[in-house]
Chains A and B, each alone.
Chain A
Amino acid sequence: MRAARTLTGLATVLLVACGSNAPEVPKELLATASDCAAPGYPTDGVGTEPGSVVKNACFVGYRAPDRVTPTAAHRETIAFSDYYDPAGTKGVSLLLINTAAIWCGACVVEHGTLPEHEDELGPEGLVILSTLFQDAHRDGATLEDVERWIANFHTNFPMVADPAIQLERYASADSAPLNMLVDPRSMKILRKYVGDQGTVMWPYIESELKARGGAR
């Protein structure tokens, strides 16, 4: 099995990635520039730390896996800009961007609780967007991995694959999970939590939602 995987990988490298150190990312997982175009999305003050604007990013995955069966026919491009809500008309009060990997035990434990948090706080305006970036071997996550993840956890929020690890600009993938809270009015980063910090993060989210009055 491993030999077959190695041969397949070798063939792919020879065909498409000669001389490149870039991670091999299947074409279907690469959202194109036009997919990611978001006129009106803030571009000033882009950065990676709290107070700066989160750069728009696009992924392929499932927007509502609890309502639309996560199969190949239902994959779509999902962008941070989808949740940019400057006027509060989309009902988004707070955006939680989360990273996960199958090898990451803390991520696995965390995702056992996220659907419950979504049930509780989604009506208050919290949107969780989670990116699965690697499998158990630390190879790039596939959409099949995402589908198994969704089935396993009964995921009820947007879940995408991020095999290129686009979110590594915010924190090392090695220190997953990353949880990053973003203000949907400005797309500014409010807080970043690296590793399992649920005991401090969820009280903050609840207080922030309360302060924002709930938008849904």
Chain B
Amino acid sequence: MTRPRLSLLAISALWLSCGCSSKAVTPGSDTADGGANGNGGAASGGQPPVVKTCPPGPNIKTDPEPVTVGFVSGSIVDENGDPTSAGLVQVCGKNLCLPAHVGDDGALGEAFNQPLTAPLCKYGDGFDWGKLGVPVAAGDSQLGTLMTVRLPDYAGAPPFEPGKSISSGGVTLALDAGSGFVFDGLDYSDDQLLFRAAALPAAALPPLGHDFVAGYALSPLETHICPLPAISIENTSDLPAGTALELYVLGLDVDEKWVPYGAWQLASSGQVSADGATLEFPDGAPVLSAFAVRVKD
């Protein structure tokens, strides 16, 4: 999805945790006023929760020239290096999204021969697999080995609940007590709106470029939380305490509401905690997507 996309679905996290249903909002408004126009009310029977209104994104609109993508080849592997179709592989521009017919052997080899704007090879479906992407150039491209990871099971994954710190796969989001949430309600059903993250193995990072030292696939993609939650990541890369860092987020959404499509955008600066245990990004990131960490120059 991308989606969103879009037109998004706003949901009260409290309602979510109570099993209540979601609520559509005006496309582009990104508001979450579950209490005002709610459908069903709080399960407790009390007042509907007051959910903060999220301001709209910057709506970055890039306008790249289309390029004709030719034969694209490569291989998709899982976190163990075994071939996989990763649920879904596509070569998508802003104008057109073409499926790559990758089977269980993980082999990508397809002639697209279409003009695409900002073409990106997306691998992983964002549901069972982490969704990542690498740019595709004009003409023929050999993308090499692209690695993604299985996302954690939905069972046990935490809901988005204001005032709580929620963790998955080594990533922790500190949610403000007055948090608002804007979800991609087209791609994800209500029961899939749980926080899930998985660390990318070191072998997954080089194709992403930028000298990243760590990377994570998150879900549900395109989730916007306001105010932005502080992000804490386990220091599995053994970076020294105090190391200055940068957090990047990948633009997977052609609507570019938060991040330019196909680009890794700097989301915030941070550092390794004093005890060396975590990577701290107090200013967070605008949207849940693929995250990557780079040591600041």
Contacts and interface: CB of A to CB of B under 8 A. Distances in A.
Contact of A105 (B9, B87, B188, B255): B255
Contacts of A106: 94-97, 254
Contact of B24 (A152, A174, A176): A152
Contacts of A109: 5-6, 94, 254-255
A111 interface: yes
B28 interface: yes
Main SS class of interface, B? loop
B194 to A, nearest CB: 11
Contact of B7 (A2, A111, A194, A196): A111
B2 interface: yes
Given A102-B186, A105-B1, A112 B99 contact: no
A78 to B, nearest CB: 22
Interface string A101-135: 01111101101100000000000000000000000
B71 interface: no
A149 B6 CA distance: 11
B255 A148 contact: no
Contacts of B95: 106, 195-197
B128 interface: yes
A102 B126 CA distance: 13
A102 B1 contact: yes
B154 interface: yes
B86 to A, nearest CB: 12
Given A109-B254, A111-B7, A196 B27 contact: no
Contacts of B3: 102, 105, 108
Contacts of A176: 97
Contact of A137 (B2, B5, B125): B125
B8 interface: yes
Contacts of A138: 88, 99
Interface string B96-107: 111100000000
A37 interface: no
B127 interface: yes
Contact of A152 (B9, B126, B191): B9
B286 interface: no
Question: How large, as a class, is the contact surface on chain B?
Answer: 35 or more
B5 A108 contact: yes
Interface in A5-41: none
B237 to A, nearest CB: 31
Nearest to A194: B96
Nearest to B192: A1
Interface in A134-163: 136-138, 148-149, 151-154
A2 B129 CA distance: 12
Contacts of A104: 97
Contacts of B191: 1
Interface in B208-222: none
A105 B97 contact: yes
A148 B186 CA distance: 7
Given A112-B7, A152-B9, A103 B154 contact: no
B33 interface: no
Contact of B255 (A1, A103, A112, A174): A112
A102 B187 contact: yes
B128 A153 contact: no
Contacts of B9: 148, 151-152
A112 B6 contact: yes
A43 interface: no
Contacts of A111: 7
Interface of A: 1-2, 102-106, 108-109, 111-112, 136-138, 148-149, 151-154, 174-176, 194-197
20 contacts: A2-B127, A102-B187, A103-B1, A103-B90, A104-B97, A106-B97, A106-B254, A108-B5, A111-B7, A112-B7, A136-B187, A148-B186, A153-B7, A154-B24, A154-B27, A175-B96, A195-B96, A195-B114, A196-B94, A196-B95
